[in-house]
């Protein structure tokens, strides 16, 4: 008898979660030093294989370029490890004898990790490191389009973890990738927390699963160039970001917003640095390629070079073109230039004042990408503060590339490939997710005062007792209080409160 693939995949998930639950119980007994040794071994193994896995990911998915994926893999391994290696996140974290409070880090248990095809190997590394650092087991759900390189990365990690003393089942991975398998993982009652990185539909599924989840919504960050900016450097930063791995990081810029008084200078720098402004006809051709009929991003354009996208749209551009730009005035869901584009394509908007530009950036973010990331290029502190107060984002990056600054490479934000979008973006956190988000804090609180002290500090006014409705019967009366008595007292109280 041949079992249905969907049923087999669901059973595999049940087995993986059961093994992970057992491993999590063992990991919960490990000291921070024991966990750190496992994490160090995994990080080293991943770094040693960063180039091989980058090439595998690029070949399998067709997204980006392997040279930049090496840097992503190092971010997910070496850089992440350096950031977290000295953190203490399990065991007794703080003992405040003066306040009578202890804080103890407790692993959440089993982490379910959804892995996207845009950053497959690096995200596996990063999520595994932060999960095991905090004493949790992890079960990975690969994107079907990157299954081979994800599974290869997991196997490498499993071997390194086992040699370093991790229990069997601490790192699991679904091999039968089906929609039913992912759904079963998300809804499994033994999953303690979901780390959801992927498309908007997948993140919504995680939040509606019934299990706690930390998800990442779409990015659609505009980049504002103020008149106080170093314009050549601003354009360089935007292009460095938008061409890094061909724009597959969701924190990368999706639009340029600038001022009419400097538009000519900005456009000169755009052209000088490899940008190509599409004319109206060309913009329409590329527009039809960017979105599918159902209004979602066309996967064919993800992680492709600008010249490849132009060729697909039957638009002729110079071979040295790095980024395609389209002049725009409209912001709507129907306008792909005002939406997330995980490729080297930018919308280009010009406003007369920074206040108008500020409002336009808000409109772009509210159109898509609220809560995620945007960049500003300016030296004027007043303008930067105004943007910081008003923008519905979790990360406002100043004078740095969005893609690299958002994940903590060119900023001092925590290195991460799961970037929380806060409440405005439908996320449970606005942070770059770290091991601290994967533990519960158990608080031990010692008694420091008695009831008599509380009463002494907060005496009950005598008038409160004098004005209280009294029972007609003496408290010493042996007669029971009847329902009529209760009703009378209730009416009296409501009358005093003016409610009857």
Q: Which DSSP state fits 49?
A: T
Catalytic residue among 149, 173, 250, 358: 250
DSSP H helices in 188-248: 200-207, 231-243
Beta strands in 320-384 (DSSP E): 323-327, 345-351, 371-377
Task: State how far the Cα of 243 lies from the Cα of 252, in Å rounded to an integer.
Answer: 9
The DSSP annotation for 231-296 comes to HHHHHHHHHHHHHGGGG-STTS--EEEEETTTHHHHHHHHHHTTEEEE-HHHHHHHHHHHB-TTSS
Q: Which helix (H) or strand (E) holds 106?
A: strand 101-107
Active site residue 162: no
Cα–Cα separations (whole angstroms), residue 469 to 59, 118, 474, 500: 81, 70, 13, 15
Strand partners, 107: 439
Relative orientation angle of helices 32-48 and 120-133, to the nearest 10 degrees: 170
3-state secondary structure (DSSP) of residue 96 = strand
Altogether, the residues listed in the chain come to a count of: 500
Whether 273 and 236 have beta carbons less than 8 Å apart is answered as yes
Alpha-carbon Rg for the chain, nearest whole angstrom, is 28
Tokens of 249: 């990081």
Q: Which DSSP state fits 335?
A: -
- Long-range pairs for 351-355: beta carbons < 8 A, 24 or more residues apart: 351/257, 351/258, 351/259, 351/260, 352/259, 352/260, 353/259, 354/224, 354/226, 354/227, 354/259, 354/383, 354/386, 355/386
Catalytic residues: 250
């Amino acid at each position: 008898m041949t079992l249905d693939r969907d049923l087999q995949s669901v059973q595999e998930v049940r087995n993986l979660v059961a093994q992970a639950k057992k491993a999590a119980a063992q990991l919960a007994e490990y000291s921070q030093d024991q966990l750190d040794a496992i994490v160090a071994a995994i990080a080293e193994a991943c770094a040693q294989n960063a180039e091989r896995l980058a090439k595998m990911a690029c070949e399998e998915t067709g997204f980006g370029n392997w040279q930049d994926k090496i840097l992503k893999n190092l971010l997910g391994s070496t850089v992440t490890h350096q950031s977290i290696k000295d953190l203490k996140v399990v065991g007794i974290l703080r003992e405040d004898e003066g306040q009578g409070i202890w804080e103890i880090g407790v692993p959440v248990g089993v982490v379910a990790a959804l892995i996207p095809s845009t950053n497959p190997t690096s995200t596996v590394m990063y999520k595994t490191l932060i999960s095991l650092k905090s004493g949790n087991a992890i079960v990975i759900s690969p994107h079907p389009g990157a299954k081979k390189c994800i599974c290869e990365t997991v196997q490498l990690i499993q071997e390194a973890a086992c040699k370093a003393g991790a229990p069997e089942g601490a790192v699991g991975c679904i091999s039968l990738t089906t929609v039913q398998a992912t759904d079963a993982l998300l809804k499994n009652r033994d999953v303690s927390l979901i780390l959801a990185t992927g498309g908007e539909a997948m993140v919504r599924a995680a939040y509606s699963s019934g299990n706690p989840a930390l998800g990442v919504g779409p990015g659609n960050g505009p980049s504002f160039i103020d008149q106080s900016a170093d314009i050549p450097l601003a354009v360089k930063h935007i292009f460095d970001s938008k061409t890094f791995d061909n724009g597959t990081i969701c924190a990368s810029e999706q639009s340029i917003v600038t001022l009419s008084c400097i538009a000519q200078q900005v456009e000169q720098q755009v052209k000088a640095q490899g940008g190509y402004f599409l004319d109206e006809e060309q913009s329409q051709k590329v527009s039809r390629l960017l979105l599918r009929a159902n209004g979602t991003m066309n996967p064919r354009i993800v992680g492709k070079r600008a010249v490849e996208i132009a060729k697909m749209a039957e638009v002729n551009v110079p071979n040295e073109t790095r980024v395609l730009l389209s002049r725009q005035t409209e912001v709507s869901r129907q306008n792909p230039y005002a939406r997330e584009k995980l490729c080297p394509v930018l919308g280009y908007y010009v406003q007369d004042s920074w206040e108008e530009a500020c409002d336009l950036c808000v409109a772009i973010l509210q159109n898509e990408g609220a809560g995620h990331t945007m960049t500003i290029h300016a030296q004027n502190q007043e303008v930067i503060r105004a943007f910081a107060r008003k923008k519905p984002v979790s990360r406002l990056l100043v004078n740095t590339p969005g893609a690299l600054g958002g994940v903590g490479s060119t900023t001092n934000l925590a290195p991460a490939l799961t970037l929380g979008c806060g409440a405005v973006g439908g996320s449970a956190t606005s942070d770059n997710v770290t091991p601290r988000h994967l533990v519960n804090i158990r608080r031990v609180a010692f008694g420091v005062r008695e009831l008599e002290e509380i009463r002494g500090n907060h005496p009950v006014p005598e008038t409160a007792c004098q004005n209280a409705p009294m029972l007609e019967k003496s408290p010493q009366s042996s007669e029971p209080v009847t329902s009529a008595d209760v009703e009378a007292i209730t009416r009296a109280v409501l009358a005093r409160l003016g409610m009857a």
